[in-house]
Structure 1
Amino acid sequence: MTMLLRTRFALAGAASVLVVSGLALPAQAAEGTGDFAYVGIFSPESVTVINGQSKTVKFDLYNLGTSGVEDVQLTFGSAAKPISADLGFTAPAGCVANVCDIGDLKPGQRRSVRFTLTPAAGGAADPARTIALATSIGGKTSDETAITVVRTDKGGVDLEVDDIADLELKPGASADVPLAIRNSGNKDVTALGLVVFAPLGVKPALDYSNCEQEAEIGGFVCVFNDTLAGGGVFTLPQNSPLRVTVPKGTAGPFDYPVLVAAVGLTEKYVFEFTKRTAGAAGRELKLEPVAGLSAKEPEAVEDLNEDDNFAEFAVSVPKTLADGAAVGGVFKGAVGEKSTIKVGLHNLGPTATVPLALESLRYAHVKLPTGVELTRIDERCLPGTSLDDLDDVDDSEFDLAEVTDLVCIVVESVPSNGRYLFGLTAQIVGADTYHAGSVQLNGSVQDDKKANDKAALTVELTAGGGGGGLPITGAPAGLIAGGGAALLAAGLLAYRLARRRRIVTVVD
C-alpha cells in the first residue's frame, strides 16, 4: 500500500515536478526555448471488471507543458484500434463518437475523466482487451497510452473513493472534506483503512483515537472495524469529519495536493492496530451508516482495482508575500588559492516561499567576478544566464574554468527568515582589471520588493596576492546573515537533468 500510495502521488501530486523535469516527455518545443506543449494521460495500466456488472474507470489528464494549451481533445480507440463491443464501453457525457473536447488547460492543470464498462455476463474466458487513449492539442497528437481490460466471473472486493472537489483556503483557515468510500465489487470487506497523505504543507486534522500518524508514509492511517458490503457506500458523519488545515505562514499562490485512499484490511492488521492504540486519547472517527471500534502500513486485502482507491484534491492558497533578498559573497584569498562561498536567497518573509511549481520557478543568476575560475559548483546549478538560456551539456563536457554565468534553481520551499544557498568554489587568478559579479534573484511571484533582489559577488586579495586586501570595484552589497533550514524537497535535481535531455524518444 505504501508503494502504491507513493507512486500515485508521484504521478499526480508531483505533476508540476514532471513539468519542470520533462523526463520521458517528447520534445515539442523550439530549440533554445523552455516552452513545450504536452498533455499527459495518467491512467491505470489495467482494469478488472466483473462480467455482468458496470465499472466506472477514472483517470487524469495533466497539462505538463510550460504554458497554457487550447483545443485539447481526448480520443478513445481509433480506426486501427477499435474498442471491442463486448466491453460495453460508454464514453464520458458530452463526447461524440468517442472524441471528447477537453478545451483549454492552464500549466499544471489536472482534468479528471471517467468512462464506464459493462461487459456481458459469461465472457470470462475471452482474452484481455485494450482501450487506446490519445490526447491532442490543436489536432496534433500529444500523448498516447492504452488500458488493458481484464474480465472476471470470480469477482471480489473493489473499493473506490469518490472524487473530492478542490478547496480554496487562506493561511490559518481550515475546512471539512466530504468523503465517500464505496465497494463496487461483489464481495464484502470486513474492515477498512483510511489513509490521508498531504506532503507539501497542508495539515490533515485527524485527532481521533482510531487514527495514527505514520512516518513511513508521511500521513495518517485510520482503522474502521466495519463491514462494507458489495455495492455499499460509507461516508463520514458531520460530527466526526476529515478536516484539513492550512497553517499560518503557508506560502501561496500554490495548489497543495492531498491524497485520500481506502484499503480493505486483514483481521491480523486490525487486531494489531487495536492492541497498539488501546487507551488512545480522543474521540473515535466513525463511518456512516455503521461505525465501531476499531497506522504502520496497512496490511491490505486483495482489491480488483487499486488505482481507484484514491482521490486527489488540491487546497489552493492565495498569494502571500515573501521578500527574497539576494545573498552575495566574497572570494577571499591570495592568487593561486581556492575560496568557497555560499550565495543565494534569504527569505525575509513574512511567509514561506512556494514549493517548486510552473508559476514559481525561482532561480538565481550568478555572474562571476573577474579574477576567479570555478573549480566546483553546486549540483543545483548549471551554466547559463536564465532558465531559457542554459547550456545543454553534461558535466563532463564543459570546462568550469571557462564558465562565467550560472543559473541555480531553488527546488524547495524556504521558510520565513530561512536561507537557501548554493556552494561555489573558485581559484583566484590574476587579472589586469577586476570587475564585480552579482547574484540576481528571478522568478518569484511573491516578491513585491525588488530593490534587494541583487547582491554583489566580489574578490578580495589577501596578503601576497598582488594587491593585498583591496576589494574589487562593484556595487556594494553585504553578505546577509541569517539562518534557517530549507523545507520540503519538491523535485530535487529533475530540472538540472531534464534541461540536458530536451529531445527524448518515447518507447511504447
Structure 2
Amino acid sequence: MLKHSTRRWLTGLSVAGVLVAASPAPAIADTPPFTVGAPNQLVAPGHSTHGWLMAPPTRDDEDQWKFGRTTLDVDLSEVEDFATVEPMPDGWACEASSSKLHCEIDIPERQYPRFDYTLTGKDDATPGQQGDLTVTVTSGGVSATGTARITIAEGADLVSDEAVEISGAPRSRVDLPGVVHNGSATTVNGVVLMLQASWLVKYAGDYSNCASLNGLNAVCTFDTQLEANKSYQLSEDLPLVVTDQARTGAGLPVTLDWWTKDDWTLIYRDWPIPGLEPGHGGELRLLEQTGAKAKAQQTDVDRTNNFTLATIHVTGDNPADLAAKGATASGKKGDVVTVLPSFTNFGPAALEIQIEKLPVRITIPQGTTAVEASGDCVPYVPGEEWDPENAEWAEPGAREYACLASEIAVGGEHPYVFALRIDEVVPDATGTFAVKLDGDPKAQNDSAKIIINPTRNGGGDGGQGGGDDGPTLPITGAPTGLITAVGGLLLVAGTVGYLVARRRKTRFVA
C-alpha cells in the first residue's frame, strides 16, 4: 500500500490511473468476491521494468470483501528461463525459489492487495520469448487467479526534451513543440505521443492521426520509422487554448509522453480508453531534424527520459481572490475539539493545484495539541528541508503547519480539518489560518483566527483577520505531481506519474 505522502505528491493521479483501471464492477450472482488483475509486460534483455498486480473486490459497498491475512503465489516456471521477478518491498513477506514465489500480508480494512515487482530480462534472453506468470491470491479460504503474459522484446530508447516553457493569456491559443530522439541502436517502428494537460488547458487540434477525449488531452499515432540516433520534430506545434478560468501567474502543466507502438498497444489492450474521437483534418507528421545532434516487438528500456514537462505561464490580468475563514470551538481540559478553518476562492479565476508553493499556513492555539491534522498539511519548521514524498503528511503534534491547496473553482471552498486536545483552558486561545497566493488582489482577507474557548463573539473572523505575512514553503526543483489527467486517460497515466516521480526527486525548503 502506498504511503499517504506518496499519494499526495503524485497528486493522487499516478496511482489513480491504475486504481481506476482496476476498479470493481457491480457484483452479480455467483461472482467471486474479488478478482486478480495482472497486466502483460514487455521487457528487453538485460533491462528491467516495473510490473504490478492487484486483487480488487467485486463489490464496492459496506459488504465488500474484507481481506485481512492474504497470500499470493506466483508460478514463475514459464518465464524462469528468460526473466526474473523480484518483489518490491511494500509490506509483503516473501519466500522465493527459481520457479515459485510465495508472499503474505495483512490487508487493512477497506483496502485490497496490490503487489509491485521488478521484472528483469536475462542477458541471454531472445526477443520473442514468451511465458505466463500465473498469480493466485487467497483470502478467507477463497482464491482467485490471473495471468500476466511476459514477452522479451527488442530494446529501444526514446528521449525527449525534459522541459519546455511557453506563455499565454486566458482565452488565447498557445503552440507546444514536440521533439523525440531515438537513442537506441536500432530503428523504432512507429511511436505514439500522449498529450496530457491541466483542466485549464484544452487541446485544439483536429489531426486525423490524433484522437482526443472531449477536447481534453490527445493521443497521436505515427507510423514514421525513427532511425537510430536521429531526432524528429512535429510537423506543426500542438495547438492548445488557455481557458478563461486560468489564473494569471499560474504555471499550468502539460506533458508529452512518447511510447513505442508495442508498449502503447500493450497498455491500451489491457486498459482500453473509452471515448477517444479521432480528428477530421490533415495528418500531423514527424520530420527528421536535420543537423540535430545525436542524442520482433520493441519496448522502451528507459521510460524516465521520454517525458516532456511543458509549463504554460499564464499572463494577462485574471487573479484569484482567496479569502480565509477561521474557526472556533469550546471545551474543558482533556476534551478533543474539531476545527475546520478554510478558504474560499472568490475568483474571477480558478485556483490550479498548488505544487511549487504550499500557500496555507496554520498555527495551533496556545494550550492545545493537534492530535489529528489535515491530510493536506505537514509540520512547518523554518529553515528545515522537506522531502514531499517522505514528509509525514497529517503528522500530529506540531505547533505550525503548511498545507497544499487543491484545484478550486470560483466559489469553491477548501476546508482543513484539525482535532485539537485542550491541555490547558486558556480563554481566547488564538491560532491563525493564513493563505498567501501570488497575485491575490485582496490582502486584507488573507488571514483569520482559530479561537478555542472564546469569551466574546468575534472568534474565527470569517476571513477578515489581520493578514499574517508568514512565508509559504517553496519547492526547489520540478514538480512531481504534474499530471492532471481526465476520464479514460487516467487508465494509462498511472505508470507515467510513477516514473516521473522517480525521475525528478523533488524537495522543498521551509
Q: Provide TM-score, normalisation by structure 2.
A: 0.47
Q: Provide TM-score, normalisation by structure 1.
A: 0.47
